[in-house]
Amino acid sequence: MAGKNNDYTDKELLRLFRDSNSKDYAFNLIVKKYQERIYWHVRKIIIDHDDTDDILQNTFIKIWSGLENFREASGLFTWIYRIATNEALIFLKQKKRRYILPLIDVRKQLADTLETDQYFNGDEMQLKLQKAILTLPGKQRLVFNMKYFDDMKYEEIAGILKTSVGALKASYHHAVRKIEKYLTKY
Amino acid sequence: MNDMKKANNNLSKINKDNPFQIPEDYFDDFPLRLSEKIHARKAPGIYEKYLLALRPYMAIAALFIGVVIIGTIFYNVFSPEKNIQESKTNEIAEIISEDAYYLSEESIIEIIYMNDVVHEDEQAGDSKDNLTNEVIDYLINEEIDIIDIIDAL
């Protein structure tokens, strides 16, 4: 048995969750273990803190509902990341549909949010980089954030996005080139 | 490959620290807020449970009603009788529109008059049939044999 709090492995947490006596306790540990990583992953996609908070809650509610039937075809970490990513992408799609906005306008709206967001404290270059990232197509944006900021392995990203390592490498390569071009231009 | 290195070099000049911030104690409060939200989600009561159990039957009933309504509408719109009636009316309208040019008022009156005469004939035929039936009924009721009548003649 592992030590206290988040020293539990994912397998141990799952075993605790499946025991009705420790279900709530195990879920609380899972939330504490992953909330920060998932929050920052979603925040980089959604930009706005309040929207990210909503998505984070929805993500963990889905995890709570689905964890009993989780068959461990992938790791818990991968599964949670996948749910969070899907929730974030669905949110952006709904936003686009709600305001009948093309995706490019949604990105512009996110860039405007960056400039006015009280919870963004980056310098001029960091703001420029975030704006450059927002110009990337959806999947490239995800790949760039996960690789560049979260320093995740290609194999991990491949498991979450259900794609090949080769495709991810190419995607990251294109993303870096586009960002560089943007940084030079503006 | 050199472009990639150059790009990465330029990127590396940018501070990689997280530029985003969160409200104070956000991650400390989050598990509690989440837990409250999960447990506040209403567990289905008895009424909801029955409603859930009846849902498939209600769906079938709604489907049946829908089929009946659509069928009735379809029948009323596309029924053959109506089609025949409509096509006859259209035919007559077509004939009138084509031939009206050649028809005088007198000829139309004549056609209507002839039509009435034909109907009168048909009605007369009907009254003859009625008379025959009455005679037959009388003979049967009075038990008069048709052969006796022939002999009497």
B43-100 pLDDT per residue, tens: 666 666 677 778 888 888 899 999 999 888 888 777 766 666 666 677 767 766 666 6
d(CA B33, CA B93): 77
In whole angstroms, give the CA distance from residue A140 to residue A164.
14
Q: How far is A63 from chain B (nearest CA, A)?
A: 11
**Bridge partners of A120?**
B20
Tell me which range, B2-6, B12-16, B93-97, is most confidently predicted by mean pLDDT.
B12-16
Q: Does A43 touch chain B (CB under 8 A)?
A: yes
Query: pLDDT at position A104, please?
Result: 62
Probe site for chain A from B34, B36, B37, B39 (most A CB atoms < 10 A): B34
pLDDT tens track for B118-132: 555 555 556 666 777
Nearest CA in chain B to A114: B20
CB contact under 8 A, A28 and B31: yes
pLDDT of residue A176: 94
Of A123, A179, A172, A122, nearest to A146 by C-alpha is A172
Residue A24 at interface with chain B, using a CB cutoff of 8 Å: yes
Contacts of A65 in chain B (CB under 8 A): none
| Eight-state DSSP code of residue A120 | B
8 A C-beta contact, residue A131 and residue A114: yes
Which of A 51-90 lie inside 8 A of B, CB atoms? 53, 56-57, 60-61, 64
Alpha-carbon gap, residue A113 to A128, rounded angstroms: 13
d(CA A72, CA B28): 29
The more confident residue out of A42 and B44 is A42
Q: What is the mean pLDDT of residues A27-34?
A: 95
Task: Copy the structure tokens of residue A35.
Answer: 């909330």
Q: How far apart are the C-alpha atoms of B105 and B50, rounded to whole Å?
A: 75
Identify which of A35, A64, A120 has the shortest CB distance to residue B20.
A120
CA distance A2 to chain B (A): 21
User: Are the beta carbons of B11 and A24 separated by less than 8 Å?
Assistant: no
Res A112: pLDDT: 82
Q: Which of A71-75, A133-137, A165-169 has the lowest mean pLDDT?
A: A71-75
Whether residue A160 contacts residue A85, with contact meaning beta carbons closer than 8 Å, is answered with yes
What is the sign of the dihedral through the CA atoms of A27, A32, A34 and A38? positive
Q: How many CA atoms lie within 13 A of A81 on its CB side?
A: 20
Cα separation of B40 and B34, whole Å? 10
Q: How confident is the model at residue A132 (pLDDT cuts 50, 70, 90)?
A: very high
A141 inside 8 A of chain B by CB: no
- Please tell me if residue B12 touches chain A, with a CB cutoff of 8 Å: no
- What per-residue confidence (pLDDT) applies to A1? 45
Q: How many C-beta atoms lie closer than 10 Å to residue A16's C-beta?
A: 19
